[in-house]
Amino acid sequence: MTRILANTSVYHSGWCEEYLMGVYIIRPKTTSVAHSLKLASRKFTRESRPSQVAEVVNFWQQDPVYQEISSYLEDTDKITQYPTYSNITGSKVVDIPDEEFEQIRQDLPNALILRDQPIQLIQPERNNAASKDTLSTDDLWHLEAISLNLARQQGFSGTGKDITVAVLDTGIDETHTALKGKVAASYSLNNRTQQIQPISAQDTEGHGTHVAGLICSQEVGVAPETKLISGILIPGGSGNLSDLFLWLDWLAMQPEVNIVNISAGIPIFIDGISDLIDSLLAVGILPVCAVGNDGINRTDTPANCRGSLSVGAINSNYQVAAFSGSGTIAINNHQYQVPYLVAPGKVVYSSVMGGGYEAWDGTSMATPIVSGVAALILEKYQKITYLDLVNELLSTCKDLGLDKERQGKGLVQVPKALYEP
């Protein structure tokens, strides 16, 4: 989305000329973190974060195209750069006068210049049934489906303790009884300064509270001692692609964050975003993303990026929900399919703003369930590598016997290795 700065003026010898500014993302066109750094051995510990961040930052600083872009932006007074936090993305978010865009494109032929665009909440279907204060066993079918109930019956005591999930969403209502004490910190993006700043916990739309409950509430959550960082990426349900770049750049500087849960997207594939996700993996943060609610052959960015752990949805009959997105992505002579796995996402009860529980339908209900399972694995195997973590999640999925293009590897499960001798 282009942000128009109305009534912005420059003065020349006593006369006033109005001009319009557009927001753009500028980054090297072909340089790839995934092709140059070994992502397989990345770890998710607080101790490993500083060295991994330093390696990624150094990678970009040594890249000739990144150097060219940085020098160009420093030498012009026509472009305003947005704040950066870690510089892991190899990207610059900038305001550019519209009349200067073509010149900049010619001056930086090796740069990918993306015009900003909207990123939206992957909107669930919110069932009309009245909210409940207490839930039945049948209402908690999602915990049965992922074998969490079985694991607990066999003595599994994992809770996600000491693991932190960043929920980039609409915010979280931490006054809900199921979420009290779960939100370690809350942040929002100041649209005036473009700075990410701490705020009191709040939900601007309601979606983030439902997502949060499925991660860590005591009754409906998968990993009840997991801590949350709330980041308002999509206030009221909408934001900008540039905001996602700023948030992921900021997350790298939060060493306690192990996982980021994203239920927002753009309903197309954007090649320039793939390396953004790879940069996140390179510093030791697992991105778990909802694939989208537009059905077969429809997927959302960033879930359709190769490095995202993309999540689709099933119903209580263990069939892929009709709305659950899926598709084949072709990039650089390579193809892969999303989603990578599925989780319960239809008639799933969780916490709602103001109290109580409601059953919603969407891949953004399935996604926090996968984040919760990942938190349980990280709690058990604190020094696990990225490759081993993803393998543990995908290799232990339950094959539902469905179309591989729709179910991926299958239904996420709490791995037996966590609770069997």
Q: What is the set of active-site residues?
A: 169, 207, 364
Distance CA 212, CA 190 (A): 23
Q: What is the CB neighbour count within 10 angstroms for residue 200?
A: 7
Side-chain-side CA neighbours of residue 408 (13 Å) = 28
Residue pair 246/30 in contact (Cβ under 8 Å)? The answer is: no
As beta bridge partners, residue 240 has 118
Distance CA 301, CA 114 (A): 14
Residues contacting 250, CB < 8 A, separation 6+: 85, 86, 187, 196
Distance CA 123, CA 237 (A): 8
CA distances from 73 to 5, 115, 141 (A): 20, 16, 54
Distance CA 306, CA 288 (A): 12
Cis peptide before 97 (omega within 30 of 0): no
Distance CA 64, CA 92 (A): 15
DSSP codes joined into one string, 133-189: SS--TGGGHHHHHTTHHHHHHTT-----TT-EEEEEESB--TTSTTTTTTEEEEEEE
Please tell me the chain's helix, strand, coil percentages from 3-state DSSP, rounded to the nearest 5: 30, 25, 45
Distance CA 150, CA 156 (A): 9
CA dihedral sign of residues 309, 313, 316, 318: negative
Q: Give the chain's largest Cα–Cα span.
A: 82
Residue 410 Ramachandran class (φ > 0 left, ψ -120 to 50 alpha, else beta): left
Burial class (CB in 10 A: 0-12, 13-18, 19+), 149: middle
